[in-house]
Amino acid sequence: MFRRIGSAVVRHPVWTIVAWLIAAVAIVATAPSLPSTSDESSFLPKSYESIKAAAIQEKAFPAAFTPSAIALYQRTDGGKLTAADKQDIARITTELGEKKIDQVQKVVPGRPSDDGRYAMTLVQMDSKNAGTPKQADAAEVLRADVKELARGTDLDVKLGGSAAQALDQQDSSKRGEALIGIGTFVIILVTLLIIFRAPILAFLPLILIGVVSVIANGLIAYATKLFDLQANSSISSILIVVLFGVGTDYFLFLMFRYRERLRAGDESKHAMVNAVDRVGEAIASAAGAVIIAFLALALSTLGFLKQMGPALAIAVTVTLIAGLTLIPAVVSLIGPKVFWPSKSWQREPENARFAALGRGVQRRPALTAVASGLVLVALSLGTLGYKATFDLASGSMPDTKESMVVQDEMETAYSAGAAAPTDVYLSSTDGRPLDTSTFASYAAELGAVDGVAGARMSQVNKEGTTADFTVTLKYEASTDKAIEAVGEVREVARSEAPDGTEALVGGMSSIFKDIDTAVNHDYRTVFPVAAVLIMLILGLLLRSVVAPWYLIASVGLGFGATLGATVWIFQEGAGHSGLMFMLPVIMYLFVVAIGTDYNILMIARLREEAREGREPREAAGMALRHAGPTVAAAGFILAATFATMMLAGNALLTEMGFAVSFGIAIAAFVMAMFFTPSLTALIGHAAWWPGHGDRAAQPAAADGGGPGHATAVGEGHDSAVPDPSGRRG
C-alpha cells in the first residue's frame, strides 16, 4: 500500500502540492472561528451536583446577583478608607452602572473589609456568556473605566473576578503562544541545520508543517462546531507543539530513509518511492498509536478534554497524510539538491558511539534492563506525593496579572472564600412552600461545618419553594481544604435537610469537587482504554501477542517516572501546592502515545535485524547501533519542542511543558534505547510468539531495511547500508 502511495505522489508531485494548497485556501476561507471558554462549569456534564445546583439557581433566582467582576479599592498609602474615600467609591459605583457597558447587567456596592482598608464594587454580567471573549472584552472596558473614574482620588483600584481573569488569561495565552511558536521554530531550525547542514532541509519542514497547521486548525474548528465541543485557550498552544513536534519527527523518518536510498545508488525519484514504501508502515503505526490515544480522551467526562482529544487526533491525522504525500511530493521535485550545500549525504559515516552502546546491550542485556528499570522505578516513587490543584485561572497566567493580585488581596482582606461563596439550594420536593421556621437551625448546622466561616439564609423564591443559603468558606475556592470542606457541606446539607426537601450545593468549590470526581473517573476509563488500543496497534504491527505487553508496561513505567519527577520538581522543589488537575491525563496520553513511537521504531528495527539471521542479543545490539541515533535525534527535537511550553510564563503550561518533554526524553533515551531492546534480547524468540516475525525466511531487501528501519542521525553518524552482498557496512 505504501509503495503505491509513494509511486502516485512521485509521478504527480505538482498535482499533489496543488491539491494541498487548494485544500488550505478552501478551509481557511470557510472554517468557523474556534470558540473558547475559561468557565470551569462548562467542563462538566449536567448530571453533576454543581451543575444541577446552577440550574436550580437560574430557575428559582433568575435575577440573583453573582458578581462576574469585582473592583477592589484601597488607599494609595495603604491606610484605612476615609469618609471622602467612601464617597468617591459610591460615586464611582454609580457612574460605572450608568455607562451601560455591554454584558453588564448590574453594578452594586460591596461590603467593606473588617479592617476598614478595602471596599468593593460588584459587577453582574450575563451568566450565559460566562468565561467567553465577550465578557473578557467587557472586563477590559470596565478596567479602563473604573481606573479613569478613580483618577484624581486617593484610591488605588484593581479589577478582578472571573471576567477579569478571562481577560488576563486571554492576554497571557496570546503571549504564551507567541513565545512557544518562536521557541519551537528556532529549536527545529537550529537542530535540523546541525543534523543536515542544509538550509533547504532545515526550513522545508517548517514551511510544510505551517500549511498542515492551517488545514488542521480549520478542520478542528469544523469538528468543534459540528459536535458542539468545548474549547479551551490552552489547546492552541498545545496544537502548535504537537503539529511542529510530531510533524518534524515524521519528516526526519522519511528524509533519513530517502538519504539512505540515495547513498545506495537509487535514482532520486525511485529513492523517494522506496523511502515511502519502507518508512510508511512505521510512520502510520506510530501516528496510529498517537491518534488512538488522543481519541480515548473522547471518553472523558470533562468538556475541554473531550474537545482536546479529537482536536489533537485531527492534527496528527493531517500530519500523517502530509508525511506520506506532501513532503514526498515537494522533496521529489527538489531532488538531491535538498541537501545542498552539504556533501555528507553522499557518504556513509561510521556509527561508533551507538555501536558501542549496542555492544553493551548485546553483552549484558540483563544488567541493562535492571539498571534502566531501576531508574524508572526510582523516579516513579515521586508519584506517592502527588496532589492536584484546581485553580485553573492562576495556573494559566502569572501571579502578577491584575486579576490574580485582586484574588490574593481579597484573601487577605476578607475571608478567603468570600470572592466565591458556596450556595446551598433547599427545595421542596412536593411543590409546597418551605417551612421558614427551620431556616435558622438549618443555617446553623451548615455554619458549624469544619472549614466554614459562616452561613446564612439569603433569599427565597417567589413561590417559597426554594431557599438559597449562602455559605462562606474559610479557604479560597480552588484549594484542597475548600474542596474537602464543600464535600462535608454537601453531606450536612443532605442529612439535615427537613422532610420533604432536597438540598443541592453549588458554587465554584462545588464545581471543583465535581471536576475532581470526573478526573478520577477519567483515570479509571481513559487510561485503560488507551493502553488496550495501543496494544492492539502494536500487536498488528509486530504480529505478536507477547511483545505488546512488555512494551506498554515499559511505557507505563515511563509515565510513572515522568509524573514522579514532575512532583519532585514542582511540588517539592518549586513549592507548588499541587500539580494542575488535568496534567496526569494529558501526560499519560502524550507520554504513552508518543513514547510508543520510539518503541515502535526500535522494536521494528530489532525485528529487521533478527530476520537477517541474527540471534536475539545480537539483533538488539545492532538495532541500537542503527536506530539509536534516529531515536536520539527525533526524541531530542520533540522533547525540546514541548519544553518551549515552559516559556509561556504560567504554571499550567510550565508543568505541562516540563512533564511531556521529560517523558519524551525518558521514552527515547531510557526506554527505547535500553529498556526495550534489552528486555527483547532476554525474552528471545518468545517475544514474537505466535507470529515468529523474527524468523522470516526471505533475504533482506535491497535497501536493507524493514518498516522500522531509519537512518541514524546526530553527530554525522548514520545507519549502515548493506552492500550488494547483503552485509552491512
- Alpha-carbon gap, residue 672 to 690, rounded angstroms: 23
pTM over 0.95: no
pLDDT of residue 351: 58
Grid cell listed for 420: 466565591
At position 78, the amino acid (one-letter code) is: G
Does 12 have pLDDT greater than 70?
A: yes
Higher pLDDT among residues 561 and 232, named by residue: 561
Cβ-defined contacts of 485-490 (< 8 Å, 24+): 485/449, 485/450, 485/451, 485/452, 485/509, 486/422, 486/510, 486/512, 486/513, 487/513, 488/449, 488/450, 488/451, 489/422, 489/424, 489/446, 489/449, 489/452, 490/49
Task: Give the pairing type, strands 388-389 and 579-580.
Answer: parallel
Write the pLDDT tens digit of every residue in 487-505. 999 999 999 999 899 999 9
153 pLDDT higher than 90: yes
* Cα–Cα dist 138/101, whole Å: 7
* Beta carbons of 594 and 288 less than 8 angstroms apart: no
64: confidence class by pLDDT, cuts 50, 70, 90: low
Residue 341: cis peptide before it, omega within 30 degrees of 0: yes
The model's pLDDT over 289-320, given as tens digits with 9 standing for 90+, comes to: 888 888 888 888 877 777 778 888 898 999 99
Q: Are 490 and 510 in contact (CB under 8 A)?
A: yes
Pairing outcome for strands 422-428 and 501-506: antiparallel
Most confident of 44-53, 183-192, 626-635, 676-685: 676-685
Report the mean per-residue pLDDT for the chain.
83
Average pLDDT value for residue range 344-356: 70
List, for residues 506-547, the tens digit of each pLDDT value.
Answer: 988 898 899 888 888 888 888 888 888 888 888 887 888 998
pLDDT confidence of residue 224: 76
In the numeric block, the cell 497547521 is attached to: 213
> What integer pLDDT is reported at residue 230 of this predicted model?
57
- SS3 at position 606: helix
Full DSSP string of 304-341: HHHHHHHHHHHHHHHHHHHHHTHHHHHHHHHGGGGGTT
More confident residue, 597 or 128: 597
Q: Band of the pLDDT at 707, cuts 50, 70, 90?
A: very low
Q: Are the C-beta atoms of 492 and 426 separated by less than 8 Å?
A: no
Closest by CA position to 532, among listed 283, 295, 280, 321: 295
**pLDDT exceeds 90 at position 149:** yes
Q: What percent of the chain has pLDDT over 70?
A: 86
pLDDT score at 285: 84
φ, ψ (nearest 5 deg) of residue 599: -65, -40
pLDDT band at residue 723, thresholds of 50, 70 and 90? Answer: very low
Q: Is residue 17 within 8 Å of residue 24, measured between CB atoms?
A: no
Question: Given the C-alpha cell 478595602, which residue does it identify?
Answer: 118
- Kindly state the average pLDDT of the residues 588-596: 74
- The band of 699, judged by pLDDT with boundaries at 50, 70 and 90, is very low
What is the per-residue pLDDT for 679?
A: 93
Confidence of residue 91 (pLDDT cuts 50, 70, 90): very high
**Residue 163's pLDDT band (cuts 50, 70, 90):** confident
Neighbour-count burial of 722, counting CB atoms closer than 10 A to its CB (0-12 exposed, 13-18 middle, 19+ buried): middle
Is residue 17 very low, low, confident or very high in pLDDT (cuts 50, 70, 90)? Answer: very high
Q: Exposed (0-12), middle (13-18) or buried (19+): which is 384, by Cβ within 10 Å?
A: exposed
| Cα→Cα distances 277→261, 324, 518, 705, Å | 11, 10, 44, 10
CB atoms within 10 A of CB 97: 16
Position 722 pLDDT exceeds 70: no
Nearby residues of 307 by Cβ (< 8 Å), 6 or more positions away: 224, 229, 230, 231, 232, 235
Q: How many Cβ atoms are within 10 Å of 54's Cβ, its own excluded?
A: 24
Give burial (CB, 10 Å; 0-12/13-18/19+) of 649.
middle
